Structure 1
């Protein structure tokens, strides 16, 4: 089986609007949701229905849960098991203080016994594929990582995604991809790698290296929603025709673009024929459709914080959009920039 591509779970980003945008360019093999609080889900939090919206392709969706209480995680898993999805993932990699101080995220890696007991409960609650996303650990101890993952495998975990940095390193040190390959050799289940994927060339290179069964990309896929389709084309698959703006709302949906080898791509960090202005507007339209008003500003700002890296004056545009108070204002400022800079793609 060929190496498959996955969208990483990104807070305030891995929601339906982004999935719709990426899928319109050709999509990836699996989409992980942003982490969902197990406690909030079983407690009926006011926004949980938005977090569990499985569109546009629930058959590719992996729900990621975060929490420190095994009972909450098992109960939330049982709820998600009723929905159409590819699988359920337990977050053991988040190192944000707001998460780790509760005992969740990467703090699970502090105790093999506690993590194994929790996974036993979660495994019993679902018939779906169960996976775990984690880091090297609290410290750089590869032997501990291998034993930890073997315990998870014994409890019924069917896939592990390794972000090969420690909890303390955040994103500061290079991702140690050699650990991904070594972990894969030590386990009997598929292993995915995540970290330092900047473009489609990185996706293709990691997939071709033989070190993993899947490659996960996060921030790069926000900057370049066409990333996965571009990588598939570069792998030698037939060139794919994908819409530059799926749907009919923008009046440009009939126009298509052929995704070619990244090495032959003209322009600045983009796909030939793709209009950055159009793609940004498409995202805003999807955001308004699929996210509640309370989420609009935070999600828009997060998206454009990465997507504006495609622009010559990206930092200026980030600041410009950040001053706006609603999606309409962001859209107006966005189109205004392109009206003043006709040379942008």
Structure 2
């Protein structure tokens, strides 16, 4: 079974993949959403979104947009990049994404409109694979939810039938509806239903897996899945994939050095305009490792710039030396 790092805005970039790789890595890394329109117009920051470092062979490019023509042309660009394949985001329910006509909006549009977009992107991938060598072939996948709150099983599975009929080779399901938040239990049994409906197609499960117990619970309900995608939990615990694989025994992490190294990698792989938001998002989750998590978050997130952040990190560990070196084992 594969372990996958999920797509997260402001997180799923080279600096974060470098951090995960330091602990042995995972099987696949989905990128944060790449906006089709912005990619095609050559926005000044797009080169940062399509940097596949440090493990191009593990990267899955996640594409978003509201227009079928833009999605098709963007897919042509992404196929030329290294990586495992292309994934269309049909699961993001953030209001700004949904209102834009992207993310889960594709599940709620007239089926013919969505099918036309999927068909066009699927054709791009198919044509690329016909001309590419075996090592350059791309997988075509979709990440989705169950739909709107009034979804029906018939409607959901008919939608999935349409995806497969148009070339989709893998589905990642976050088994919640458009409005359901993380407090609502994920309905993993829908992942299992997908496995049974499409026995020859891999299905990935996404949602609420954060440790060994939650992984066992998910797999007990959906034993047929071929992969489990983890998002927020791997930001808090970048070593979680190592723990879940249980390949090695206990290990120590110097939390201060990890923080400093991450800042340096952000400066190397992200534009200065992105530094603050990327670091704030990371430390929002990562600080949960500390006994005085709220204090650490307050200090780190309110830093004026990176130099101030480094100073605040140094001061935090001076006041809380017991937090600097932590030992982790199987979870």
Common fold, TM-score beyond 0.5?
A: yes
What CA deviation, in whole Å up to 9, does each residue of 1:182-227 have, x standing for no partner? 1211124111010011224433554575131110000000000001
Residues 209-246 of structure 1 deviation map (CA, whole Å, 9 limit, x = unaligned)? 5131110000000000001111111xxxx42xxxxxxx
> Which residue of 265, 268, 286 maps to 2:265?
286
Q: Aligned equivalents of 2:241 and 2:219: distance in 1?
A: 12
Which structure: greater helix fraction? 2
**Which sections of structure 2, spanning at least 5 residues, go unmatched?**
130-137, 327-331
Q: Report the Cα distance in structure 2 between the residues aligned to 1:25 and 1:9, rounded to whole angstroms.
A: 19
| Correspondence 1:121 to 2:106 | no
Change (3 A) 1:294 1:135: same
Moved over 6 A (4+): none
Residue in structure 2 matched with residue 178 of structure 1 by the alignment: 189
Taking the aligned partners of 1:174 and 1:278, their CA distance within structure 2 comes to: 36
**Cα distance change of structure 1 residues 172 and 204 upon mapping to structure 2, 3 Å threshold:** closer
- List per-residue Cα deviations over 1:280-321 (Å, max 9, x = no partner): 112111111111100000000000000000000111111111
Q: Which residue does 2:173 correspond to in 1?
A: 162
SS in 2 for 1:299: helix
Matched, 1:211 2:210: no
- 1:141 deviates by 2.1
Is the Cα contact below 8 Å between 1:5 and 1:30 reproduced in 2?
yes
Q: Is the 8 A contact 1:100 1:107 kept in 2?
A: yes
Partners of 1:163 and 1:119 lie apart in 2 by 19
Distance 1:202 1:165 in 2: 16
Corresponding residue of 1:43:
41
SS in 2 for 1:274: strand
2:139 corresponds to 1:147: no
What is the CA deviation profile of residues 44-83 of structure 1, one whole-angstrom value per residue up to 9, with x for unaligned ones? Answer: 0110000000010010000001101011011011001011
TM-score (norm 2): 0.90
Distance in structure 2 (CA, Å) of the matches to 1:207 and 1:228: 16
State the number of aligned residues.
309
CA distance in 1, matches of 2:79, 2:183: 36
Secondary structure of the residue aligned to 2:51 is coil
2:205 equivalent in structure 1 = 193
Match for residue 277 of structure 1? 256
Root-mean-square deviation (CA, aligned residues, Å) is: 1.4
